[in-house]
Structure 1
Amino acid sequence: MFKSSSNTRDDGGSSTGEVSRYSTLKYPHRLNFYDKPPLGDVTIEEFELFAIDRLRVLGEIESSWARNRPPEELKKIVVEQYTKYVPLDSNTAKSADLGEQRRKDHIGHFVLRLAFCRSEELRRRFVKAETALFRVRYGNDDALERREFLKSMMFDWSEMTEEEGTSLRDKLNTLEKSADSNVFLKARWTRIPDLVEKRRVVLKGGWAYMPVAEESALVFNEFQKTLERALEATAKALPRLDEDARIVPLLNNLSQGFLSGANFDWGSSAASTAGGLTADMIDEMARKHFPLCMRYQHEELRKRKHLPHFSRLEYGLFLKVLGLPIEEALIFWRKSFSKITDDKFNKEYKYNIRHSFGLEGKRANYPAKTCMQVIMERGQKDMECHGCPFVTFAPENLQTALMSMYNVGSQDMGEISHLVKGQHYHVACTRVWEISHGVKKGAGLDGESVTHPNLYAAKSRELEKARVKGESGEDVVMAEG
């Protein structure tokens, strides 16, 4: 009456042998509990790239939670993100390099362990996001391959005996029916308190009995507990890395990346595609298209007729990537610094402006600062005005700035304040973009979050052009009312 779940065939006809032939691979399954550290050589480039790509996925998961996306929408976004950045194809895939895919997934996870084990808050966020990623991958995995993975894990829950089934028959019949309703598992109830709370199990003598369809809850709980223990162990071992000048800065950047949506390279090629600007256009551009961080610096520049060095560097690189060529940049800064003489400007400022365009010094074409860098490089002195206002402004000052510059109302202000308190700065900035552009809540910048000041401005300009052409009905999700 109670058949063994290990012999069930829920894949539509595939045989166990077709999956087992992959058991000799280093990574026989695309699902992974990450219970064994990666072995072998890893280059610094791989160390950083694998972690960054994985962090893109986890960052989008956190962003989706902060934006209260429904479960189905969250699942769709997660699938899109990991398919793009950390793909894991089925064993039946013909052309994919399965070994390299799974190696990247494995190494990226362990690098992020090092970055996120440093505090209880970081560990909590990492576990939550990784568990969400595992849940989506588990649900999308091929049924037969998933069964083979579970068999390989040797979990300590077991199938209910026929004697137990007979004594609990009436109670088990009250549980939700499933395709495998005659297959039941038992585990200690402390493993699945959520199922106990929802009354989806039968309790007896400290054991919880459930249909095999509920096995996923056991798996997810085991994944979470395993990762929590592993992070605590990693935290104890982390001090050994403190002397490695190559690794520690990378780990610091990765952990900070969560605060900004983890976008690390937007804008690296944006300057080549941005429309040409002139110095006289910047005032109107700032009013219509700039994020708060850059608009605040622009207004300070107009007020002071000057900007300190780091503020000038941050704002200047933003304008460069926005499309302001070097000739117009020199005109813009010279007119802005109206209190100084031409001689002083040429001696003290012109070289640095040309240097940022790669025309002096080592002639490097410097990219604009990402949101992560803007957040981390906050102004430390009273006269500095660079950095992320969602981080550096007092709550009342932030409220005043958003109301005056972006017409944010009191109801939306409460939501934005809540996001800022939760350190979801990029989501708060995205919400300001939606409000100021009349875009439906949650639609974002074509579904994206603000992770770069130039992304904010570029999407704003694109939206304006679409509306001028009368294409907003096709390209923009407008706010109701």
Structure 2
Amino acid sequence: MFQAAKQASRTRLNGKDDESMHVESSSSSYRLSLYDKPPLFDVTVEEFETSALDRLRILAEIESSAARNRSWDETKQVTITQCGKYLPLNSNSASGIDLQAERRKDQVGHFALRLAFCRSEELRRRFVKAETTLFKIRYETDDSSERRAFLDSKDFHWISVSTEEKNEYKQQLSHFVSAKSEAEFTNEPFYKVKWTTIIDLVEKRRVFLKSGFAYVPAKEQASIIYAAFEERLEAALLATSRAIPLVDEDTRLNPILDNLAQGFTAGVPSDWVGSSETTGEGITADMVDSLAKQHFPLCMRMLHQSLKKDHHMKHFGRLHYGLFLKVLGLSIDEAIAFWRKSFAGGPGADKFDKEYRYNIRHSFGLEGRRMNYPAKNCLQLHSAHEAGCPYRQLENSPENLQSALLSSYSAQGLTLNDLPEIMSQVKKKAYHVACTRVFEITHARYVKKGEGLGDGESVTHPNQYAARSIELEKEVKMETD
């Protein structure tokens, strides 16, 4: 694992590919993988980070599904949809697809996240749970012949129960199969494993126990495989945690790994850089108040309300809110007009031009370093000490948070009855899940519970929330016109 990590940190400057860069292990032979062999090829830092982030999008959505009590079918569908976007992985029977590239990305992303999530018992537990769920979904949706070939290629430490042994325990084993005749029972495979490896089946009384072994019918075979995947991954993570101090020497990997480790808390943010792509048109200063009441997430809505009340805003509030509005579609001229109007009764014209106009132009890349700064995502707002995520900052003041939610969204359908569900997510520190649930409640005419922004995706960026809200409203208007 360490060798793969060190190789993953090497940057290839020539940009060329070669035969050694393909996945060279049995892991690439099938869509399913136990990740028992680390990839031993050169990986650029960019590929390392991109592969990890795209995989983390899937795992974060899986954990979000658990937090939102989605059914297995709902979780499965959401995961399949997200995998189609960020982590496609086709069977060998697929044609016209670069299977090696897909499996290379799958392998790199998995092992990169091992480095990020091996550092504490809590992170390891969450990683194993999410990865096991992803494996289960892939197992259930895999091509049957390829799945059988994969199983035959691995040793799952099960013992095939002989006909003689089956007949010896026929009375007990017959309870676990639907055989209607002697021949059907004889042809029904059973596997014998240590009972401690399949606790879930033991708890549900779906196996026969004898002398420390569980007799598992073929229809329950998947449980043995899932347990083996989970057990091996737990052991691998512990081994990785012992080697991680060596990786800490690499200053290029550490910031990436630290950022990845926070992904379960805020999800993996999308990059929102162009307003015209999200809203379809620019907005004016006079439109902001109306948009705030209808389409803004709580973080930006509270900043807007504070600005209207005080006609002033501290530096980080102006920074976060200003960048949000810029990406939403507020041009530089409209931004200056908006802030000048918002500060009415505050600083005079000369003071405004001296103290605020420059900063507004700076955020648009027109002054100073001339960088076109992006808006802050949820992960960045979670770590902000000022003007950050209200779900996080008001976590220890539940009354204030509930009051803010009701005052902000009661006109859009949020009621007292909705608060316990939202607050339960806040207590779990699943802040982006709480925000997503608010979106679902306030957009109930467009999306159903569990659908998130419409396709199961959770909120990971304030502009993502606002842009999707505006988009849904436009879609309804187009349908009714």
For Structure 1 versus Structure 2, the TM-score category normalised by the shorter chain is 0.7 to 0.9
Q: Which moved more, 1:449-458 or 1:128-137?
A: 449-458
Query: Counterparts in 2 of 1:251-330, with a 5 A limit?
Result: 251-265=257-271, 267-274=272-279, 275-330=281-336
Instruction: Name the residue aligned to 2:220.
Output: 214
Query: Counterparts in 2 of 1:45-444, with a 5 A limit?
Result: 45-177=46-178, 182-265=188-271, 267-274=272-279, 275-338=281-344, 339-376=346-383, 378-379=384-385, 384=386, 386-393=387-394, 394-407=397-410, 408-439=414-445, 440-444=448-452
Q: Residues 272 and 150 (structure 1 numbering): CA distance in 2 closer, same or farther, change over 3 Å? A: closer
User: Quick one: distance in 2 between partners of 1:367 and 1:245?
Assistant: 25
Name the SS of the counterpart of 1:208 in structure 2. Answer: strand
Instruction: Name the residue aligned to 2:469.
Output: 460
Query: Counterparts in 2 of 1:22-37, with a 5 A limit?
Result: 27-37=28-38
Q: Percent identity?
A: 55
Q: Residues 256 and 396 (structure 1 numbering): CA distance in 2 closer, same or farther, change over 3 Å? A: same
Tell whether the 8 Å contact from 2:275 to 2:282 is kept in structure 1 after alignment.
no
Opposite residue 445 of structure 1, the aligned amino acid is L
Gaps of 5+ in 2: 1-22
Q: Residues 335 and 257 (structure 1 numbering): CA distance in 2 closer, same or farther, change over 3 Å? A: same
Q: Residues 244 and 288 (structure 1 numbering): CA distance in 2 closer, same or farther, change over 3 Å? A: same
User: Quick one: distance in 1 between partners of 2:417 and 2:433?
Assistant: 16
Name the SS of the counterpart of 2:215 in structure 1. Answer: strand
Q: Using the TM superposition, give the Cα deviation of residue 37 of structure 1 relative to its aligned residue in structure 2, in angstroms.
A: 1.6
- Taking structure 1 as the reference length, the TM-score comes to 0.87
Instruction: Name the residue aligned to 2:41.
Output: 40
Tell whether the 8 Å contact from 2:27 to 2:34 is kept in structure 1 after alignment.
no
Tell whether the 8 Å contact from 1:26 to 1:99 is kept in structure 2 after alignment.
no
User: Quick one: distance in 2 between partners of 1:216 and 1:467?
Assistant: 44
Tell whether the 8 Å contact from 1:176 to 1:200 is kept in structure 2 after alignment.
no
Q: Residues 47 and 193 (structure 1 numbering): CA distance in 2 closer, same or farther, change over 3 Å? A: same
Tell whether the 8 Å contact from 1:159 to 1:186 is kept in structure 2 after alignment.
yes
User: Quick one: distance in 2 between partners of 1:85 and 1:176?
Assistant: 40
Tell whether the 8 Å contact from 1:291 to 1:453 is kept in structure 2 after alignment.
yes
User: Quick one: distance in 2 between partners of 1:91 and 1:113?
Assistant: 26
Q: Using the TM superposition, give the Cα deviation of residue 391 of structure 1 relative to its aligned residue in structure 2, in angstroms.
A: 0.1
Name the SS of the counterpart of 1:203 in structure 2. Answer: strand
Name the SS of the counterpart of 1:32 in structure 2. Answer: coil
Name the SS of the counterpart of 1:186 in structure 2. Answer: strand
Q: Residues 80 and 434 (structure 1 numbering): CA distance in 2 closer, same or farther, change over 3 Å? A: closer
Q: Using the TM superposition, give the Cα deviation of residue 245 of structure 1 relative to its aligned residue in structure 2, in angstroms.
A: 2.1
1:74-127 CA deviation, whole Å, 9 max, x = no partner? 111212222321122212223222222111101100111111112222111111
Tell whether the 8 Å contact from 2:24 to 2:39 is kept in structure 1 after alignment.
no
Name the SS of the counterpart of 1:302 in structure 2. Answer: helix
Q: Which moved more, 1:113-122 or 1:269-278?
A: 269-278
User: Quick one: distance in 1 between partners of 2:153 and 2:472?
Assistant: 51
Q: Using the TM superposition, give the Cα deviation of residue 271 of structure 1 relative to its aligned residue in structure 2, in angstroms.
A: 4.0
Tell whether the 8 Å contact from 2:266 to 2:379 is kept in structure 1 after alignment.
yes
Name the SS of the counterpart of 1:349 in structure 2. Answer: helix
Measured on the aligned residues, the alpha-carbon RMSD in Å equals 2.1
Q: Using the TM superposition, give the Cα deviation of residue 470 of structure 1 relative to its aligned residue in structure 2, in angstroms.
A: 5.5
Q: Using the TM superposition, give the Cα deviation of residue 273 of structure 1 relative to its aligned residue in structure 2, in angstroms.
A: 4.6
Q: Using the TM superposition, give the Cα deviation of residue 279 of structure 1 relative to its aligned residue in structure 2, in angstroms.
A: 1.2
Tell whether the 8 Å contact from 1:69 to 1:442 is kept in structure 2 after alignment.
yes
Tell whether the 8 Å contact from 1:271 to 1:320 is kept in structure 2 after alignment.
no
Gaps of 5+ in 1: 1-21, 473-481
Q: Using the TM superposition, give the Cα deviation of residue 438 of structure 1 relative to its aligned residue in structure 2, in angstroms.
A: 3.6
Q: Residues 272 and 351 (structure 1 numbering): CA distance in 2 closer, same or farther, change over 3 Å? A: farther
Q: Residues 442 and 35 (structure 1 numbering): CA distance in 2 closer, same or farther, change over 3 Å? A: same
Name the SS of the counterpart of 2:28 in structure 1. Answer: coil
Q: Residues 305 and 23 (structure 1 numbering): CA distance in 2 closer, same or farther, change over 3 Å? A: closer
